Amino acid sequence: MRRRLLRRHASSRLSSAHEGIVAAVVSAILGDFLSNLQSKTTADVVARVLEELDENERRRTTNGRPFVTLAWAQSLDGSIALEPGQRFALSGSESLALTHALRASHDAILVGIDTLLADDPELGVRHWSGRWPEPVVLDSRLRTPPTARLLTASVPRSVRIVCTAAADEALGPPLMARGAQILRLNAWPNGWVDLDALVHALAEMGVKRLMVEGGAKVLTSFLRAELGDYAVVTVAPRLLGGLSAVGPLQEGRLPRFASTSSHQLADDFILSGALRWGSS
């Protein structure tokens, strides 16, 4: 009797162990399947967005400046961060892959000095396969620290820091010693770099595609100057009540999407399209 009980107990333990192994194998297979499916979805969305971008660039009338893509992530209520100068990760890993694919498809990537000081971004391409774009920093007063990550990246590339004549000339040499190129351009009445002068200067340097990632002041300035050909907006399903991605624009000349495509990547929604300006 005792032997039968022992055999039953052993059989029960073996059965439980077998079930555990089966469950682990099924879980691993299912995880791989979902991961591959997710990767395929991301690749499909990236391909469609880049194809639409290419088509819009081909349709654009040559105007002596680069094709400008504005790209940013925001919450449902249009916030880009909780507070100015505070970094806040909004989008998921799939949307981040799209952002890096967009970077790889552009010659240069532009951010403002506020974004550089808050995030210290590398502005590279690590979540997609492709070339690294050349960074451009809007920095009217040359506040970029020589220790900035984009000046110490492992991938060799040109880094341009754009200031105005009002910037202290003594601040330039430490940045140039780290490989940066300093561009001094005309200023707008508010003291910021003249964006029209900037995009034409970049065109003369061979930049055919420029991606603008922010922050809010920079995005708003490009929109107010009507210097945008295409936009890719990632909308994360959350509410922040913080800093608006886009500030007040000029009434009567408001930008709109001439055509809109929408895609979903995990929990995020991607809106993209060509930009047009007008009263309606």
The residue-averaged pLDDT of 119-136 equals: 95
* Topology of the domain comprising 3-278: Dihydrofolate Reductase, subunit A (3.40.430)
Query: For the whole model, what pTM was predicted?
Result: 0.85
Residue 232 has what pLDDT? 98
More confident position, 36 or 143: 143
Residue 63 has what pLDDT? 84
Residue 102 has what pLDDT? 98
CA distances from 40 to 94, 124, 160, 209 (A): 11, 23, 36, 27
Mean pLDDT, the chain, rounded, equals: 88
Task: Write the pLDDT tens digit of every residue in 227-278.
Answer: 999 999 999 999 999 999 999 998 778 999 998 999 999 999 999 999 998 7
Domain definitions of the chain by residue range = 3-278
Residue 26 has what pLDDT? 39
Task: Write the pLDDT tens digit of every residue in 176-220.
Answer: 999 999 999 999 999 999 999 999 999 999 999 999 998 999 999
Residue 33 has what pLDDT? 38
Burial 200-218 (b: 16+ CB within 10 A, else e): bbbbebebebbbbbbbbbb
Task: Write the pLDDT tens digit of every residue in 71-99.
Answer: 999 999 999 998 887 778 888 999 999 99
Given a cut of 80, whether residue 113 has pLDDT beyond it is yes
The pairing of beta strand 254-257 with beta strand 268-278: antiparallel
